[in-house]
Structure 1
Amino acid sequence: MPLSDCGVVALDYRGEKGIATALGHAPQAALANPAAGSVLAVSEALTNIVWAPMAEGLDSISLSANWMWPCRSQEGEDARLYTAVKALSDFCCALQINVPTGKDSLSMTQKYPNGEKIISPGTVIVSAGGEVSDVKKVVSPVMVNKDKSTFYHIDFSFDELRLGGSAFAQSLNKVGDDVPTVQNPEYFRDAFLAIQELVDKQLILAGHDISAGGMITTLLEMCFANTEGGMEINLDKIKCDDIVKILFAENPGVIIQVADKHKSEVKKILDEAGVGYVKIGVPTEERHILVTKHDATYQFGIDYLRDVWYSTSYLLDRKQSMNGCAKKRFENYKQQPLEVVFDKSFTGKLSQFGLDPDRRTPSGIKAAIIREKGTNGEREMAYMLYLAGFDVKDVTMTDLVSGRETLEDINMVVYCGGFSNSDVLGSAKGWAGSFLFNPKAKAALDNFYAREDTLSLGVCNGCQLMMELGLITPEDKKKGKMLHNDSHKFESAFLGVTVPMNRSVMFGSLSGSKLGIWVAHGEGKFSLPYPEDHYNVVLKYSYDEYPGNPNGSDYSVAGIASQDGRHLAMMPHLERACFPWENAYYPLDRKDNDQITPWMEAFVNARKWVEAHKK
């Protein structure tokens, strides 16, 4: 289950500096109070991005404001827009944040043939972005099932709890007029910077913002991605007697989980910053959130409410997915947890395989990445090959077609992912034609595969190419094909795969492993005309049913190899999962210590094989 407050990308493959982005909006609040709506939109963007360690704290962040307001459709909206813009400007000036860009859409009206007119509520979408000092320190919103830890509530608003403009009010078909805001921007800035210090010092186990849905939604979302555990929450220390306001008010704030061994240090940092905090609870083994206020106790079933929370996504998915896949996703998402099993010999260290990221001398083991117009995965693939010990060459189809490149001195070729020729003829069909109908390219390909000292790898679009050219099973009369996903949607997800017992060059040593990996494809379904045991299956999705099997592949196949194990075609992107920080999930007990994931071993295996067989 994808769950995150901000998006973070690394600036290079060393996994340190990066860029974070986050969003904020409050359309219901803006209906009731346009000024408060602007403040809440900025607040949500900032309490979302606060979990990434910004290089210079709040000074690293710039905002973009996208104003969507029905000024041309409704009298009085011009004045409301002015009020909203001024409030955002004043708040950002007080926070010392710039808003250098944005856009406006001032019609926001849909007219239908029957004369009906729908007017969108005036709102501002705030995007926050800035430089991250270390992408590995980003805090996840997923609660850690750790006995000796505590949850704290930190209020950023300095305001009374109010229900106007909340999701709770909307659920009652109301808007209200008593909307929360941020009463003290200076305090908000202090609270933000205090959380930043905690993030940078890695004193927070998990953290999540309070915005749409209020505190109870925040607490539940922190539990949804787990299969076990819950919370015991006591709200007696919060100075409000109205349990509904405490749980559902959308006053800006955060919930943090702190290991008990770090409590004194966390409290010291918050106290020195003048930031208030309230201890509200602890983890529990029970699969519920138990909320107590004075003598009353309320029980919230996490798994039941997760289905309620997910149901709106299911209703939208029904309009997009084919072949009943929306229903399968809704039924199976909680039945398919990601399982990870590493070989006991794997240390997670570069030194285990003798790898040096600072290597600048050629190894003499040559790999070529072959790309066509529209492929886009060559840079990360090149780096992983380089890190594994290959000297990497960039080869375009033009090089092969013209005869400038013959592949005679190349030991391994890799066809990477992307959308060659925009997939207008079908995935990789145009790319395959570039080989088949150009004599020099065809000769280079045939000569390469005729040699016994070569390896090849096709990932995603490259997998489709290898299947289209029949490079994996050249002896078969009936060829396997790559078809559209059963859902008829582009599937992008981080999911589990299993490496069965096999003797392939790249995956043989990984046999028995269960690993996480990224998929991103629209035509990834292996359609295989023979029984499973006819093929050298070296990678399978860990679940047979959608969405664990994201495309409906026969036998849940994710990758197959030639009978001699030298040539491999796979749909998932192993090159995008070689570092722990690239993974959407990685075992917590290894996350901070491992330099690489087991996928790097596959590239090392390829290099070692070439060293042993090079002529």
Structure 2
Amino acid sequence: MIQFFKTKENSILAVECSQAFSAKDIEKLTWLFSGAQALEETSLEGIFIGPRREMITPWSTNAVEITINLGLSGISRIEEYFPVASADAEHDPMLQRVYKGLNQEIFTIDKEADPIVYIEDIAAYNLQEGLALSQQEIDYLNSVAAKLGRSLTDSEVFGFSQVNSEHCRHKIFNGIYIIDGEEKPSSLFKLIKKTSEMNPNRLVSAYKDNVAFNEGPVIEQFAPATNDKSDYFEIKDIQSVISLKAETHNFPTTVEPFNGAATGTGGEIRDRLGGGKASLPIAGTAVYMTSYPRNKKDHACENGMKERSWLYQTPEQILIKASNGASDFGNKFGQPLICGSLLTFEHEENDKKFAYDKVIMLAGGVGFGNKKDAIKGEPKPGQKIVIMGGDNYRIGMGGGAVSSVETGQYSNAIELNAVQRANPEMQKRVSNVIRAMAEAETNPIISIHDHGAGGHLNCLSEFVETTGGKIDMDALPVGDPTLSAKEIIGNESQERMGLVVDEKDIDLLRTIAERERAPFYVVGETTGDMQFVFENKQGEHPINIALVAMFG
């Protein structure tokens, strides 16, 4: 059932619960909602702007957790709706929709979890789902299916597309270049790496981890003497490494600038958290490059050329919303955005126009770590795989593959499905657990990665790349019961980190996670058989494939 509350500002709070509220429950919620009035009506007339029913907002996630801490049970979602004069009222269609009345069905999605699908025609599935697979990759997957003697599952084909996307593997950037018929000796990636090879200077690690590390000075660390209980703070000297990281988040920011830039900043912070066996962020930067915003009519250079029609957002909207999103995440997480740059550009020559189609949104930052933890350990068979962070939702599906092609190449529905959402408060909790490990005399983390493009697929496959591993599907936290196995495995719900630890250290990590209110799940283990397996309690295998086949 859904209980409606009317706030003092006349917005409506819709609270979804599995049972009717008692008078005591209503009293607690009224206090929590700053005196909002509980309404007797089960449906409301009028026109409202509110979140898309398919996407649970970060605000809802945090609000529901607060109700749990208040002793309320059964609440699954809380969202806010704003009354407007007409259905033409301004709103963000990426995140919001117009509701003509509010009723008990506003959270209902008429969909059941799809079963595992075996893909007979990989080429057709590639186009249908916007996987950006090349013909060579399609031929390769057909050969893998032939060797296995069965069709590949939707999760396996989707997983291959994410793990091997340009976004993740840099196939073009690391490819062979032939210019004027002459094959060049180095790829662009090799040329960039060559600078470090020729002048390593104080370089500790680069091009093989989530961040690069340079050797830093000996610094004073001010931290609790023990990491799992209340204790005195102590000062001790550590040999530091300085972390450096920058990455683009162009496609999501083009489609939905606020959350695109926010999750770009959040993902870059997680990369620094996941450097070595754990490192810590300090400060961030942001760079934006767009076509002309045309926000002033007297700018001759901007208005000398005709503006194109934009598929999702105008450059002006992108610059405002993206800047707000990046700063919003940093402020809420606790990392200042201290510098950045902006470029707007268009040029016309020989009847050809050159400009930015996708925005360039680059998030970067610096941090530090302990030099003893600057290099990841190598997982061994029998170690546990842990995930910390929020639940799985139908968010960012296909982001890695879709972001590797031109905006508008796939259907609007596919591209919207790749949009992500930001929850910096959740990321801060996870960060606090990682900080406790990074500051400890003995860090139990063997390896650590964030969940970015491809979700569990990329993170967990990297953990088990040298051993193989089995993941328990039923141990993965699911916030939306309609998710298929493919969606559970491949979604890009943000603010999640994966760890490999020894079984003996699980209780220590769980204790710290509970203290920081960071969701903590043991989801699998490394095996030693070089297979990548996801298995549920029914004995079904959405993914059961050799790692060598998955990585192509």
Question: With structure 1 as the length reference, what TM-score do the two structures score?
Answer: 0.44
Greater CA radius of gyration, 1 or 2? 1
TM-score normalised by L of structure 2? 0.49
